Amino acid sequence: MEKLYLLATLAGTRIAVEAGEVEAVVKLTEISPVPGMGAHVAGLSALRSRVLTVIDVAALVRGVASPQEQRGLAIIANISGHSYGLMVDTVSDICRVPEGELPLRGQIDAAWAPYARALIEHEGQPWLLVSLAGFIEGGALAQAA
């Protein structure tokens, strides 16, 4: 059975996420900062009467917060019973990939190595398959360190 994938760009890298992990993709209008949190926690936002923890995934991966004017587009996911908005640069498509997941090959940027699961190919382009939960678990480890 072919899986459905959401294709996006994040910190200038093409990523794919299994559609089953995605609740929605939204443009967040207001993000309230939370003092004392790591740079990867952009803040809190409201969506449909619930509070989202907004994660700046580019800051998590690259260590540099996204510019304020680029913040807002987020993939919404429920991870371990909590609602998160994971910020991305763009979302380009949702599609099936008949070839399925391919093993990682070649050199992966060290910043992406903890998050990369596999590759998929769509229209001749490779997309790094990541798990949204991996960003949350990785962020919690970064916070604890």
| 112 touches 129 (CB < 8 A) | no
AA identity, residue 55? I
Report residue 77's pLDDT band, with 50, 70 and 90 as the boundaries.
very high
Q: In what order do the strands lie in the sheet with 24-27?
A: 24-27, 73-79, 82-87, 50-55, 41-47
| 82 touches 53 (CB < 8 A) | yes
> What's the whole-number mean pLDDT along residues 81-95?
93
- CA dist 52 → 14, 102, 107, 121, 133 (Å): 24, 32, 34, 31, 15
> What's the whole-number mean pLDDT along residues 31-41?
88
| pLDDT score of 137 | 82
Q: Lowest-confidence range among 58-72, 80-94, 95-109?
A: 58-72
Segments making up each domain of the chain, as ranges:
4-144
What is the rounded distance in angstroms from the CA atom of residue 140 to the CA atom of residue 100?
30
Q: What CATH class is the domain 4-144?
A: mainly beta
